[in-house]
């Protein structure tokens, strides 16, 4: 069953006239996603490669019935773009842009929580319901449809675990790349809850990494509420204390955010731990 994203979801692309926005709008449409248009202030009424352009998200929503947005605008404009989408009544906002200021993200998340809007990202590859739709930049040809829910902080590892499952003949219900920034609304706990509540998702894969306590909080939720099989992998076991490894949120300080701590918490919650990504399909069996 689709989680948050279905074939009926109508998507607008904020920043559709930029290279990345247009490139991925085409890929999303080719995959089957209903990309109904995009926004670029001052370009309303024009078209780009068959996609209608609107001056604002509210105009796009009124004209197309859009209920989701994906943001490809530069980091310094992301806060305004996300707030515009939230205030226009968009239900799902996916922020692909990286380098967004933490303070801007905090403001976006606060407003989204108040308005009941789901925000995925920033600095994320997005999400995909295989065979139905995708929002973001996850390659469509490496993900098959099935009953395994996947959530990951790392974009690259999102693709790799999808590929490993696909090679093993295992399909995915919905795959989330939630992003590696330290502040986010759609975190591990929220996605695990969505998978746990979804009757068509039978097993869960969680791909975490060093830094922060999101995996530990998810482990606590899993221990108390989840009765579905969970397989987890934590990246960054060899990271040096105090050094950021790839993501803004991937920093270890003292006993906080260590790979060992996350692995122990997940194992105590009943999750099976993969030492390598290639072990995940076998553990799921």
Please tell me the least confidently modeled range out of 30-39, 71-80, 85-94, 229-238.
229-238
CA of 75: how far to CAs of 12, 102, 149, 156, in Å?
Answer: 18, 11, 30, 21
* Arithmetic mean of pLDDT, 256-284: 93
How is domain 138-284 classified at the architecture level of CATH? 3-Layer(aba) Sandwich (3.40)
Q: Across the strands, what pairs with 235?
A: 209
Residue extents of the structural domains in the chain: 10-120, 138-284
138-284 and 10-120 share a CATH fold: yes
The model's pLDDT over 138-164, given as tens digits with 9 standing for 90+, comes to 999 988 999 999 999 988 999 999 999
Q: 206, 266 in Cβ contact below 8 A?
A: yes
- Other CB atoms within 10 A of residue 227 CB: 8
- Domain covering 10-120 in this structure, CATH number: 3.40.50.720
Answer yes or no: is pLDDT of 284 > 90: yes
Residues with catalytic annotation?
Answer: 247
The model's pLDDT over 6-55, given as tens digits with 9 standing for 90+, comes to 999 999 999 999 999 999 999 999 999 999 999 999 999 999 999 999 99
What are the residues whose beta carbons fall under 8 Å from the beta carbon of 267, sequence distance 6 or more?
273
Provide the pLDDT confidence category of residue 246 given band limits of 50, 70 and 90. Answer: low
């Amino acid at each position: 069953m689709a989680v948050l994203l279905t074939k009926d979801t109508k998507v607008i692309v904020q920043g559709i006239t930029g290279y990345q926005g247009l490139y991925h709008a085409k890929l999303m449409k080719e995959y089957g996603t209903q990309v109904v248009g995009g926004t670029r202030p001052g370009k309303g009424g024009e078209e780009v490669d068959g996609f209608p352009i609107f001056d604002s998200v509210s105009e796009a929503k009124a004209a197309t019935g859009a209920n989701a947005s994906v943001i490809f605008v530069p980091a310094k404009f992301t806060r305004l773009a996300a707030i515009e989408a939230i205030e226009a009544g968009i239900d799902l906002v996916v922020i692909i842009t990286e380098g967004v200021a933490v303070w801007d993200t905090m403001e976006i998340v606060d407003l989204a929580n108040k308005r009941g809007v789901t925000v995925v990202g920033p600095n994320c590859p997005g999400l995909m319901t295989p065979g139905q739709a995708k929002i973001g930049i996850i390659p469509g040809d490496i993900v098959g449809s099935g009953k395994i829910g996947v959530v990951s902080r790392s974009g690259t590892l999102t693709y790799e675990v999808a590929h490993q499952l696909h090679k093993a003949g295992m399909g995915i219900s919905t795959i989330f790349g939630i992003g590696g920034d330290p502040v986010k609304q759609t975190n591990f706990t929220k996605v695990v809850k969505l998978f746990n509540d979804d009757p068509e998702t039978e097993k869960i894969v969680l791909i975490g990494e060093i830094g922060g306590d999101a995996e530990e909080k998810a482990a606590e939720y899993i221990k108390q509420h989840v009765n579905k099989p969970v397989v987890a992998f934590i990246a960054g076991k060899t990271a040096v204390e105090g050094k950021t490894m790839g993501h803004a949120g991937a920093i270890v300080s003292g006993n906080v955010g260590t790979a060992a701590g996350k692995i122990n918490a997940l194992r105590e919650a009943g999750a099976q731990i993969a030492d390598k990504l290639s072990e995940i399909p076998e553990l799921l069996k």
